[in-house]
Amino acid sequence: MLKQSLAAAVFLASSFAHAQSCPWLADSRIDELYPDRAPWTTLTGGEGRCKFISDQSKPSSTLSLTKMDQGSAQAAEAYVQKVSAGMAKSYSVKPSPALGTAGAAVRQNDAPTSSMLTLIAHQKAFVVMTQMSFHGGVSAEQQAKAEALTLETFGIDSGVLAMPSK
């Protein structure tokens, strides 16, 4: 039993030893938005994409932001619509007016506080996706904060996620 506990502790410590920093968004910004799950740690960080994980002494929650350049405003809007339509086959996809004309909020099983939420929006040639998995569910207030963070991400010089060429 002690060996298993030590092995688990070493695994957790080593996984966070490899944690990165997000070069364009500080962990403290996520702490401000979701203090009940703080401190947040960057799990992966890089050009156009960062993923954060909540305080590991509590049930785990994650939040990731991805910014992509689609080349034009028309291509970005088409991408958002295509992703939304594809997700609508398995999830509840609702317009999110706070995110703009094509902005959408995607939840599991049409539950207002399901544990997973994906937001997708575009501005000019850029698309931002925010994906959240919160233990106990994502409330309307938490969603509103995520929508604001999604819009904030458009204005951050984050670089963009390099997409494979066709």
Q: Where are the domains of the chain?
A: 19-154
Q: Tell me what pLDDT residue 106 has.
A: 95
Pick out the chain residues at pLDDT < 50: 1-18
* Domain 19-154 class, CATH top level: alpha beta
Confidence at residue 4, expressed as pLDDT on a 0 to 100 scale: 42
For residue 93, CA distances in Å to 40, 81, 122, 129 come to 28, 11, 16, 14
DSSP per-residue letters across 18-44: T----TTS-HHHHHHH-GGGPSPEEEE
AA identity, residue 119: L
* pTM (predicted TM-score): 0.84
Specify the pLDDT at position 47.
92
| Residue 74, pLDDT score | 96
Total residues belonging to the chain: 166
**Rg (Cα) of the chain, in Å, rounded?**
17
